[in-house]
Structure 1
Amino acid sequence: MSASPSPTDSLEQPAKRHLRPPSAVVETLGATTSETKEGLRKINNYLLKKEIGRGAFGTVHLGIDENTNIEYAIKEFSKSRLRKKEQMDLFRRGGPRGRGRGRMMGLGVNRGAAATATGGDGSGTLSNPLDLVRGEMAVLKKLNHPHIVRLYEVLDDPSGDSLYMVFEMMHNGVLMDVELDHVAPPYTEAMARRYFKEIMLGIEYLHANDIVHRDIKPDNLLLSKEKVLKIVDFGVSEMFVKGNDKLKKSAGSPAFMAPELCIARHGEVSGKATDIWSMGVTLYCMIYGKTPFTSGNLLELYEMIKEAPIEYGGDHSENLLDLFHKILDRNPDTRITMKELREHPWITNDNTEAMLSAEENCDIVSEPTEEEMKNAIKSIGSIFAVMKAVTKFKRHSRSLSQKSLDQIMEEAKKEDEIAEAKKEKVLKGANEVDELTEATQELQI
């Protein structure tokens, strides 16, 4: 791949500091799904042309806005699958319990009720998948950065099972295709430096806004039509309390996980340091076309990450090798920091290339509030009320008017509101019992 002017370089001139406004995300709560004569599905004005990806809870489509002819990447989620998974997780844990202190908020683990669903303090091994989607939306609404993918619209068809997220289309796909059984074509040092600096700017911005990505890898780094790198997939990200990035949970792709996460019962680790390690593994992929540690056995892979020597072949600069030793330092306490990365000779190309200043790059956005997390998908609470209403409607005569349907829907919503109020009352009572128990224990001590 030939070198080209870096989008990062174009931002490197000193500029007056300005605050970025949060991303404007449209919420379309009464979307309509239809089908064209050619058999293609539509959600409002978006035509779903073909499937371009698939994940644990959803499918990604190439979509086109028929009004503007602009292409988008549209993630489709099954609400019923998410709901079933949520109920199964609650069943395995014996139902919600604990106080849900909300010390840390996983993006997708709502404080309070959702935190109780993950073990009381948000430290459970599985996040509530319904909140996982809601959390990703809430955070993406807050962020606005040239190296973070943009969310434009969220659509919900209340009469169907699908929920849609409309993202900007990244036409040049993943940064590189890294697989277990073959070596991908590597980048030159110059191109690797360009893209790595763009990763740095995006991750630095996230860290400044108290967000740890936790799953940095080439698959989650996409290139736009203009070859600008953007970070995607905030499904396992974590938001931490300002000034304390210590996390307990392990998450992410095993081959890119930091050594301190490969230890059973590892306790609290620095989220920022784990992101730095994953950035280092990604840089290794760019230079060598493969990960530094490869094994089909997960336990063996973890042992390799913790102890195996890292091979640095090829004719590469001393500055790059020095950076690898510092970024792939197995000790998180001595691993290079983002600030030190900015000053490293390989990053600056021996002080011949500047970067956008950290101050200019890191406009701070406020953390999503509980209310914003709750309302990231405003229609999610009424989904099941609508489903109940539709079921009731089908049991009645086809001659029922729209007014009758509206009345049935209203009754179903009221039933749900009453049920929700009862559930909140029960949870509040449980929390009060927990608090009283803790206070009693403290007095005994």
Structure 2
Amino acid sequence: MEGGCQNKSMFPHTVQDVRTTPTLKVLTSERINQYALIRRIPRNTGGTPHVDVSIYKDTTNDKDVLIKAVKRKQVEDKYRQLRRNFQAGNNLPNGEQSIRKEIDVLHRLRNCPHVIQLLETVDDPNNDRVFLVLEYMSGGEIQWRNEHDEPTLTIEQTRRIFRDATIGLQYLHHLNIIHRDIKPANLVWSFDHSIVKIIDFGISHHHEEDAVCTGSSTRFYEKKYSSPSLFTNAELTKQRGTGYFMAPEVAWTPPDTTMSSPSIDTLSATIHTDAFQIPAKRPEITKAIDVWALGVTLYCFLFGKFPFQITSDGNDNQHHTRYMLFREICTSDWMIPDTMSANNLPTGGRVAKTHSEVIHLLDCMLRKDPNTRIGIAGVKVSGHSLFSLSDLQLIPL
């Protein structure tokens, strides 16, 4: 391995060991151990029902932290347990398995200033929740469009966000971690908007057999959250993540799939001629799905809208809408408005010979075939005058 993921001199970044606390000494509506509640963060529409997120004050150092409280067992787990005859292997309920996966991933991410840091886990077996104490990024998530679906970020702001996200994603991929849900809502600002960090590793995946990093950041792997059976390749084929940002290989359905729905005539009438054919076999799910999602995110920042959208056809069935969106992602090309960013800079269009190099970068990131899609290292040295990362000190990979 060239360089190494333990080279702390590359960044002015203090790495602290994650504390593991096995006992809830204090638990009230206003306090968790030494953490005093500041405010609760409302769940978004469609948010995860078994997760509560709040901002607390660490009374030992007067610093604000974000605490994610995750239920060990979800309602679905109880029904599964009634049906299941447990066999040898990982018999964790699905909810607790998800917690362990997230903690396992977060413990690996100890040496990059563009990835959120886990500070402590509070895991009392006598309580039905596990508490993840994370650093708090008070600048909030990236706001990238207004009520008219127009971009609100300038080119310089987009460049800074994109650079930080690329460095963070490069670090994840170096550790063989696939985030699986890169999107604007999972990129957050520091208080002064000087740094962007990647957050939310709830569905992230780690290739245990490909581990490349040793040293202090891996000491936790001996503990109970780390297990080779936590991460399976079968898990990667599940359509997890946010629909608009899913890569074609994640959104894939067999090309001869039909919908057992009365709306099939409507569906046939609304699907336009396909620009791309759906492959007969699902392509392998790899780190390339994160590059695609980062490309969609970049498109959102530049144009204030998604590259793949569907228009209403009068059918509000959730499965129908999902199918239509996935079909759009897998078979349609994306278009480019005449201008980009809040600066209203000309783009040159989607296919014009004079289009800007940022369009070429999007072309490379939004290729349907993951085997020809640019890798994160290629994004880093794309050469575009605004988005080149060559002037940054990066993790030496």
- Asked whether the two chains share a fold, i.e. TM above 0.5, the reply is yes
2:268 aligned partner = none
1:140-289 aligned at under 5 Å gives the runs 140-144=106-110, 145-156=112-123, 160-176=127-143, 183=149, 185-227=151-193, 228-240=195-207, 241-242=209-210, 247-264=236-253, 267-289=282-304
Output the CA distance in 2 between the equivalents of 1:267 and 1:96: 30
SS of residue paired to 1:163 = strand
Alignment pair present for 1:65 and 2:58 = yes
2:266 aligned partner = none
1:356 aligned partner = 393
Closer, same or farther: CA 250–271 of 1 in aligned 2, 3 Å? farther
Output the CA distance in 2 between the equivalents of 1:23 and 1:275: 27
Contact 2:189 2:197 in 1 (8 A): yes
Q: Following TM superposition, by how much is the alpha carbon of 1:299 offset from its aligned partner in structure 2, in angstroms? A: 0.9
Amino acid at match of 1:214: R
SS of residue paired to 1:61 = strand
SS of residue paired to 1:152 = strand
Contact 2:184 2:297 in 1 (8 A): yes
Over aligned residues, Cα RMSD in angstroms? Answer: 3.2
Taking structure 1 as the reference length, what is the TM-score of the superposition? 0.63
Amino acid at match of 1:133: I
1:47 aligned partner = 36
1:301 aligned partner = 325
Q: Following TM superposition, by how much is the alpha carbon of 1:353 offset from its aligned partner in structure 2, in angstroms? A: 5.3
SS of residue paired to 1:130 = helix
Closer, same or farther: CA 299–165 of 1 in aligned 2, 3 Å? same
Unaligned runs of 5+ in 1: 1-13, 100-111, 118-126, 363-445
Closer, same or farther: CA 66–216 of 1 in aligned 2, 3 Å? same
Give the aligned length: 314
Contact 1:22 1:142 in 2 (8 A): no
1:95 to 50, 71, 85: 85
Q: Following TM superposition, by how much is the alpha carbon of 1:351 offset from its aligned partner in structure 2, in angstroms? A: 6.5
Q: Percent identity?
A: 28
Contact 1:178 1:218 in 2 (8 A): no
Q: Following TM superposition, by how much is the alpha carbon of 1:34 offset from its aligned partner in structure 2, in angstroms? A: 4.7
Closer, same or farther: CA 357–58 of 1 in aligned 2, 3 Å? closer
1:136 aligned partner = 102
Instruction: Render the CA deviation track for 1:172-207: whole Å, top value 9, x for unaligned.
Output: 11122679x852543222221211111111111111
Output the CA distance in 2 between the equivalents of 1:351 and 1:328: 18
Output the CA distance in 1 between the equivalents of 2:8 and 2:126: 49
2:225 aligned partner = none
SS of residue paired to 1:48 = strand
Larger CA Rg, structure 1 vs 2: 1
Greater helix share, structure number: 1
1:113 to 78, 90, 97: 90
1:395 aligned partner = none
Output the CA distance in 1 between the equivalents of 2:184 and 2:388: 27
2:76 to 61, 85, 88: 85
Closer, same or farther: CA 184–165 of 1 in aligned 2, 3 Å? farther
Q: Following TM superposition, by how much is the alpha carbon of 1:83 offset from its aligned partner in structure 2, in angstroms? A: 5.5
Taking structure 2 as the reference length, what is the TM-score of the superposition? 0.70
Contact 2:163 2:387 in 1 (8 A): no
